[in-house]
Structure 1
Amino acid sequence: MTKEMKRPTSDITQDSIKPSLSNAVEFYTNKIREAHKCIQERDEYINYLESKLSNAKPQQALPVVPEFVAEFIDKAKENLSLYGALFYIRDDTNKELDKWVFRQPNQDLFARAWLDGYEIEKPNLFYIALPKVYRLNDSVFVSKIENGTISEFIKGKDCALKLTEQEIKSIDERYWQFAVPVEDGE
């Protein structure tokens, strides 16, 4: 006996699907709006917390140390503790480092630099501005030094050499009287 099969009928039509699809779109649109609102509230809360933190404890500036101290800290931190570094400085032959670290105001500064980090002290820079020479109406600035001797001059500061006090005096101590400080931003 064979069973007779009938073609199935479907109650699903294009018109019957439309309400379900529009409900799904509305559902997901609402969820996206909720997520967006949640993100906005989180961002506002983060901003609030950041403002509280910045007002709670002002950031302390990093200590400023000379370049030779910074170089020592960088090398010594690889192998020594702060305590070990202080003993090493006392036993080392670097008298400049010993003299700087064990001056009373610098002891705390050195410890803070070791623990928190540091900024390197910027050396004061100078131009050498020579007075009117050899038929020139204006001062001239040193622009080139070869083998410890000034070899070129220029009228403006644009290409003039910027030197430390020590560098100027190493050329000739008498040039120090012609030193002009470099302004910030020059």
Structure 2
Amino acid sequence: MTKFEEEFNYLIELSGKVLIGQVDAEAFEKNRIAFFEKYETDQQQALPVVPECVAGAIESIPDHYSAFEAISLINTKVNALPEENEDWLPVYNWLCEGIENQDIFALAFITGKYEVEKPQLFCLKHIDMSKSDAHLNWYLAKGTDNVLIHQGIKKGKLPKLKCILKLTQQEIDSMQTGSYELVPVEDGE
């Protein structure tokens, strides 16, 4: 464990002790300030990267909460009425994927500094139409008035046209895509 991780874990431990009254808030605040002064200028420390749903949760949790209270709040929200937990369930599931995600959340929450991960985008290539056409691959696209159409792109060329639909895996999973192949889209396309 690095020195940074040791000191960060100690800060998290202190935040929990504040919650149960073993450490007063003033002592915690002094440790928190010292920690950030020490590591704020460290350019080697990359910002934690969190999914968009986690970033939304971090922004909606009051600033005066400790990391322990924040995670407890997420747990409470998930166990609340089903209509109240829709936004919190993906955050809870991400936290449950492992201790690494919990540490990433705690660091992002405590510092308020993080990056939001950009989801991988895909376009949908129609398998049957592309096989039967010797010259073009056919992709799902938006036509005029946002009507879904198929757009032909010369074989061997990557689809870079703005009209080609670019979808996240989650969006694709919610659709009935039929005979389509997922084609990853690179950043900037």
| TM bracket, shorter-chain basis | 0.5 to 0.7
For the residues of structure 1 that align with 2:109 and 2:185, how far apart are their CA atoms?
A: 31
Q: How far is 1:153 from its partner?
A: 1.5
| 179, 183, 187: which one aligns with 1:180 | 183
Matched, 1:63 2:58: no
Unaligned runs of 5+ in 1: 1-55
Amino acid at match of 2:55: A
Name the SS of the counterpart of 2:124 in structure 1: strand
For the residues of structure 2 that align with 1:173 and 1:132, how far apart are their CA atoms?
A: 13
For the residues of structure 2 that align with 1:108 and 1:115, how far apart are their CA atoms?
A: 10
Contact 1:126 1:180 in 2 (8 A): yes
Q: How far is 1:173 from its partner?
A: 4.7
Matched, 1:106 2:91: no
Instruction: Report what 1:143 is aligned to.
Output: 141
For the residues of structure 2 that align with 1:101 and 1:90, how far apart are their CA atoms?
A: 10
Q: Give the TM-score, by structure 1 length.
A: 0.59
Amino acid at match of 2:150: F
| 151, 154, 165: which one aligns with 1:154 | 151
1:71-100 alpha-carbon deviations (Å, 9 max, x no partner): 000010346332321211121223332232
Matched, 1:84 2:80: no
Q: Give the TM-score, by structure 2 length.
A: 0.58
For the residues of structure 2 that align with 1:96 and 1:132, how far apart are their CA atoms?
A: 35
Higher relative contact order (CA 8 A, sep 6+): 2
Identity within the alignment, %: 37
Query: Larger deviation: 59-68 or 80-89?
Result: 80-89
Task: Compute the RMSD of aligned alpha carbons.
Answer: 2.9
